[in-house]
Each structure stands twice: as structure tokens, then as C-alpha cells.
Amino acid sequence: MVAPAGGGGGASWPSEGELEAVRGKVAEISGRDAGSVRVVACPYRICPLGAHVDHQGGTVTAMTINYGVLLGFVASDDGEVYLQSGQFEGVIRFRVDELQKPIENSESINWESYARGAVYALQNFGYDLKKGIVGYISGVKGLDSSGLSSSAAVGIAYLMALENVNDLTVSPADNIQLDKSIENKYLGLENGILDPSAILLSQYGYLTFMDCKTTSHSYVYFSELSKSKQCHGQLPFKILLAFSGLQHNLPKKRGYNTRVFECKEAARALSCASGCEVASSILCNVDPAVYEDQKCVLEENLARRAEHYFSEMKRVVKGRDAWARGDLQDFGQLISASGRSSILNYECGSKEMIQLYEILLKAPGVLGARFSGAGFRGCCLAIVESGHADAAAAFVRAEYEKAQPELVGSIPPDRRVLVCEPGDGARVI
């Protein structure tokens, strides 16, 4: 599908000051003029509806926000990749003609891995790389490991920079597969296409719908944007990101993988109960009518996982209609219902994240809230009326600090709750 043209309202990020700072760093590193520096802007993403269904071939929704990763770069004609980071110490240095091999031990993954992974993916897809890059990459401190897909943004940034200096024309669809190659084949991570699709395909004013079974996507325009009398066609809501202070979750991650397995078992049980000769292991292949007729055969855990999947698919359909009408009340209620189902049916979410979710629901002007990501760490997101965004952020900061003072103390004060706007897709500036 041809992407719609981006709107002017999503141009608040990156600011001229942010671009100037990144270009200045690259000029300092490379000895080139700052005017010759190009910048890849790769935004972070949120998914308002479609929680935990991508691995089951379900449909998910996504939009980007006005925060993300900036990679300033110039071409290095000798084929060397030379990189510095705003978040990590040291220097990355290697050549694009070096053969990159997949990482065997996930413990060794670091910030260099994504740059090498981008070269690996391009090499494996048959692209001829002659030029490397001299660059400086910077994300938003405190937003890594927050359920906003910062790792996908980094991988895509390296891909787009290498493609640019080598005069390669690569479609968003191909870059989605290239980033998937970085994550799956080079890093050995079991990630799907949700994150790169959201980052590469999103457009301001549109909600992106991605069918994870067919990998097709579509856009739905927010009707109130065309009616808005505000400057620059601004949307009538903001996005709150409230951070929990939780960063590490290995034991919980294993529990999350169990939930994925239970979804597969539920699909098999429903298929067998309906008389299918070949049992499917993904719920998207089970007809909703079959689920309603046969759900009584599922044991308790499997019944909850299936209930989440099928109820979430209904919420995605209703959410599409609400967004198209510009009905933020209905859209927000569906987001909150998704959050409740994540807790009750998918049974994910740590105690702290559930507390944060419940605080968001009580904040002034909040229309809907849910976890961003699996719900074991990172942040919660909320849709809030524009006029109440600052008051809602202040309420959440104060209430969560009362509930979790030690965790809040670990978060920089200016990163505890962010007021964000919807953004555009990844691009080279």
C-alpha cells in the first residue's frame, strides 16, 4: 500500500537544536563541515491496541512519538565504519567489507552489535557496500528497555545510513525484513515485524494497522485532524509515558514465553475440538465462531489466553472505527479494556506496572491507558486530552512516587512522566 503523505503536525521532532547538536558532533569527529552531515531520525513507537497478539498472527495498531534515535553521519570513502555514542563509552570501528557472523552468545550483545548487524543483514540480502559511515548516535536517556522499541530504532538507523551513503534504494517493506534479519539471524532474538513496521510505516495523523499474519498494513486517518482549527493541524490529544523504574525482568520473561506457548496450545486444542485434520498452532487460524463454540474444552490458563486474543481482536476492529470517527472517548475506553485484559486474561504485568496503570486511569483528562510492551518493566502509556496533559503528568508523578518511592528515585526527574505527541516515520534529514 502507498503510504499517505506525512502531515506538518508531526514535525516537532527532531528540533533544529537537536539536529544542530548531532551535526556538530559528527563534524567534530569527522573533520567535515556540519552542513554536509545527514541525520537519520528513527522514532520510538507505541501500540494503543493489539496487545500480545502479534506472535499469533493478529492485527496490531501503532503510531510513533516525537522522541527517538538520531544518527548523524557522513560517508567514509575507505569503507570504514567509525561510530561514537551519546549513551555509551568507547568507539566502534570496523569495515563494511568484513564478513559479519551471527552472535553466538546473547550475553555479548552491546551497542556495537546493531551496527555490525546492519552490515550483516545488507550483506546477506546481496547489497554491495563500498562506503562506510562516520557517525554519532544518540537516543533518549532513560527510554531504553521501556517497551518503546529503542533497539529496532537503532538497527533501522544504521540500515538507512548505510543505504544512503551507498546510494541504495530500499523500500520500507525491505527494511522491515532487513531489521528482522538483524534481530533474528544476527542477534538471535525472537522478535517479529511489529517494531520495525511501526517505525518505518507510521505517518502523522494516521493509525497504522498491521496484519501480522499477512504482513500487510493499512492506514486510518483521524477525522478530527481535518476538522481541527488549531495551528498546524494538531491532534486533540497527547500521549503520556509514565516510567516504572523497572529495568530487568529475566524471570518474568520466561513466564511471558510460557504465555506464548499457551496461546499455541489453545489454538491446537480449539482446532482439534472443531474437527480440523491439521491442528493450527496460531490463534489467527481459528475462526471466532469456532472459539465461541469450543472454548469450553480449554483448561483455565489456555481459556484466559484465548479470551485475551479474541477479545483484543474485537477491540482492534472497534478501535479502527472509533479512530476514524475521531471518537477519543471510545478509543480510550478500548485501550483501558486492553490493559485490563492484559492483567486478567494474559496475566502479565508486575505489581509496580499494575499500580502505575491504575494511577494513570485516575489522572485528570486521561481517556485510556495500558502497558507499553509486555508489562513486566518499562512504562505505561496513556491517551490524554491536550488541555489536561500537564495536570495529568503532575498527578501521576506524585501518586507513583507515593506508591514506589525507591523506584521513582532511580528515574531522572525529567524522565518520570513524558508528555508526547504522535510523530512521523523514520527518515533521513
Bridging pattern class, strands 132-138 and 80-85:
parallel
67 and 426 in contact (C-beta within 8 Å)? no
Q: What distances in angstroms separate CA 383 from CA 62, 123, 331, 333, 360, one per listed residue?
A: 13, 41, 9, 10, 10
Residues contacting 411, CB < 8 A, separation 6+: 142, 243, 245
- Pick left, alpha or beta for residue 327 (phi over 0 → left; psi -120 to 50 → alpha; otherwise beta): beta
234 and 218 in contact (C-beta within 8 Å)? no
CA distance 396 to 128: 50
CA distance 241 to 415: 9
Rounded-to-10 torsion of CA 237, 243, 248, 249: -60
CA distance 196 to 54: 13
Q: Which three cell numbers mark 418? A: 513524558
| 78 among known catalytic residues | no
CA distance 45 to 423: 9
Residue tagged 485475551 (cell numbers):
308
Q: What distances in angstroms separate CA 360 from CA 40, 75, 295, 384, one per listed residue?
A: 33, 45, 33, 10
CB atoms within 10 A of CB 58: 23
- CA 366 remoteness from chain centre: 21
Write down the catalytic residue from 54, 144, 195, 424.
Answer: 195
Q: Which three cell numbers mark 144? A: 531504553
CA distance 3 to 323: 18
Catalytic residues: 195
